[in-house]
Structure 1
Amino acid sequence: MRERHHAVHRLDEVRHEAVFREREVPTVGARERPRETEALGGRVEQHLELRNRLHRALRDATSRSVTILVAGHYCHDTVVGNASVHRALGGTAAYAPAILDALGVPYEVVAKVGTDFLYAAAVSRNPIVVPGPTTAFVGDYRGPERTERVDAVAPPIEPGDLRGEWDIGVAGAVAGELPLRTLRRLRDISRIVIADAQSIVREISPRGEVILRPPAAGAVETIDVLKASRKEAEVLDLAALRRKLILLVTDGPRGSTILRGTSEVHVAAYPAQERDPTGAGDCFLAGLAVGLSRGLPLETAARIGAWCGARAVEHVGVPRLTAEEARAASEFP
């Protein structure tokens, strides 16, 4: 019961991330033009809506465990290195549960795969099987920066695939499988929505190239907390986003930055012996969700995310945390 009380208290702090932005709205003078007054009114309404949305995260939290829903496809990953080719299970739907399982957080996954899915025995939550191939990525790490190619894409997750009600909804699309209609459904059934920017900025070209472009209209309005890599952040309007939601920009070993209103807080990365960076962002996202589910302040939740991301790069494929590693993550203040 004490843990649930702390969850309520700290989720309230997340709600106050919206409230403080409301306080930053300047007072309108009597001589200002009507259109400025209307614009201010619109901003206040946005802040109030975000505040009320986050406030829904507190309802009934004292009577049950905080629950998490991860939405995104399982994938077939091929990782090409300088002297090796490694094939493995991939996707946020695979990496995030590795963290959630290790840390004992209740969750479910909604993912689709094709009839050729190779890793049914390796996942703890069964996917929806549809005709056709499983989403397949090829990641080439032989150059200074990773390049990606998509060889196959499974059908999108539809609004009707998302059921129930959740405290935290995690949007973890890897190849556009969460269209706007589904993001809106995730918004409707989740008290807080955390999203990886790849869910809203990725586009797959006819040749399988991964192209980053600004999110579609209406996408960011479905999200409360958005995590973006440094490269993904280049196609985002950071100045506008930080007024609408909480934004975390990750930059590998250089750590991450929390942007909210006019505030910026840097969160250092944890040391790691890197073997394979695949899935580090997914594990960061999962650790962040765990921190929020425990009712921890956002900065502490981001530190858990950074720690989980560091553990991920020390593994090839989906990480399996040891008992000692899981205990370390559970001891964050």
Structure 2
Amino acid sequence: MLPAREFLLVGHYCHDTIVAKDGSIRLALGGASAHASAVLSPLGVDFHVVAKVGDDFRYGDLAPRPPRVIRGHPTTAFVDDYRGAERAGRVAAAAPPIDPEDLGDVPCRIGMALGIAREIGPATLARLRDLAEIALGDAQAFVRQVDAEGRVGIAAPTPSLRREIDRLDWLKLSRSEADALDPASLRCAAIVTDGERGCVLVQDGREIHVPAFDAREVDPTGAGDCFLAGFAVGLWRGWDPPRAALFGNFCGALAVAQHGIPRLSSEDLAGFDPGSRR
């Protein structure tokens, strides 16, 4: 049997165009896998990323793990506009989907479905579930819809995808995503994130509120990805879910204080003090 990896992250990198509240525009490496890696890398965690990009990918030197380059196809590209009350997203290009065989045969302790533009279908999610001891997913991978103009909306997942979502151990949802996919209806446990109010764990018919940490918000992009990575690290360390979620909140608070993919250090993450939020 092949030795298990610790973490397997599945989801594309992307080209982000970020329009700030003041109208300024910034280009950056994006993708949930890239943001989650910002938590795993300084901890020295063994992780592998399955991501596809086009031959136009311009952040090869910044990618935490090398993606697979698909010649003749574009890299997934997003425009995130923060000028309104809610973020408005648009998909300008999409790389090919991730296939089950792209995940290989190596088992992992923690598997994370971190799709950004529906690149993870039911068969690929099923493959991740089979490889992972603990499988987590981000609802954005499954409930995002893209219309003909590229505008991003939210809708319930297909029945085949929903069946595989129910096989996960944990699913993270934002408040808006929870409107499309009721956490109480899931067979898996759920985490509903709510910004400065923290998050709520929904497990075995119980809800547990986990408070947020104070944060100086500079750029909210990717905060949820860093949260989920922190939560996953907590589970990997054997912590109970509330403590793991508290560490996730801590990672999210660190992430929003920087532009783009946050540059976190092991010292930053060692500053986690669960007693400060009890």
Normalising by structure 1, report the TM-score.
0.78
Percent identity of paired positions between Structure 1 and Structure 2: 48
Unaligned runs of at least 5 residues, structure 1? 1-59
For residues 290-327 of structure 1, give each alpha carbon's deviation from its aligned partner in whole angstroms, at most 9, with x where no partner exists: 10111111111101110011111111100011343122
Per-residue deviation at 1:198?
0.6
Match of 2:268 in 1: 325
After TM superposition, give the deviation of residue 169 of structure 1 in Å. Answer: 0.4
* Correspondence for 2:13: 74
- Cα shift at 1:66: 6.8
Instruction: Please name the residue that 1:151 is paired with.
Output: 92
1:174 — aligned with what? 116
**Is the contact between residue 72 and residue 171 of structure 1 (CA under 8 Å) also seen in structure 2?**
yes
How do 1:225-236 residues align onto structure 2 when only pairs under 5 Å count?
225-236=170-181
Residue 23 of structure 1 is matched in structure 2 by: none
1:202 matched residue in structure 2: 144
Q: Which of 215, 222, 235 matches 2:167?
A: 222
**Does the alignment pair 1:265 with 2:225?**
no
Deviation at 1:141, TM superposition (A): 0.5
3-state DSSP of counterpart to 2:248: helix
Matching residue within 87, 91, 112 for 2:52: 112
Distance 2:238 2:89 in 1: 36
Q: Does 1:274 align with 2:220?
A: no
Shift of 1:173: 0.2
Q: Aligned residue for 1:183? A: 125
What's the CA shift string for 1:256-292, capped at 9, x where partnerless?
0001122111011111110110000000010011101
Letter in 1 for 2:126: R
DSSP-derived class of the 1:219 partner = helix
Q: CA deviation at 1:224?
A: 1.1
Q: Which has the larger radius of gyration?
A: 1
Q: Does the residue aligned with 1:300 lie in a helix, a strand or coil?
A: helix
C-alpha distance in structure 2 between counterparts of 1:250 and 1:89, whole Å: 23
Cα gap change, 1:161/1:65 in structure 2, threshold over 3 Å: closer, same or farther? closer
Q: Which residue of 1 aligns with 2:101?
A: 160
Aligned residue number for residue 101 of structure 1:
41
**Residue in 1 that maps onto 2:191:** 248
Contact 1:66 1:293 in 2 (8 A): no
Higher strand share: 2
Q: Tell me how many residue pairs correspond in the alignment.
A: 268
Matched, 1:283 2:226: yes
After TM superposition, the score normalised by the length of structure 2 is: 0.93
Structure 2: unaligned runs, 5 residues or longer: none
Contact (CA 8 Å) 1:70, 1:107: kept in 2 or not?
Answer: yes
Q: CA deviation at 1:191?
A: 1.3
- 1:294 corresponds to: 237
The whole-number CA distance in structure 1 between the counterparts of 2:265 and 2:9 is: 22
- What is aligned with 1:142? 83
Aligned Cα root-mean-square deviation (Å): 1.6
| Paired residue secondary structure (2:115) | coil
1:33-44 to 2 correspondences below 5 Å: none
Give a deviation string over 1:153-180, Cα, whole Å, max 9, x none. 0000000100111111000000000011
**What is the one-letter code of the residue matched to 2:116?**
V
Distance in 2 (alpha carbons) for counterparts of 1:239 and 1:141: 30
Question: Where does structure 1 differ by over 6 angstroms across 4 or more consecutive aligned residues?
Answer: none
Contact 1:183 1:222 (C-alpha < 8 Å) held by counterparts: no
Q: 2:128, 2:135 within 8 Å by CA — same for their partners in 1?
A: yes
- Corresponding residue for 2:255? 312
Read off the aligned partner of 2:234 and give its amino acid letter.
Answer: G
- Does the CA contact (< 8 Å) of 2:43 and 2:266 recur in 1? no
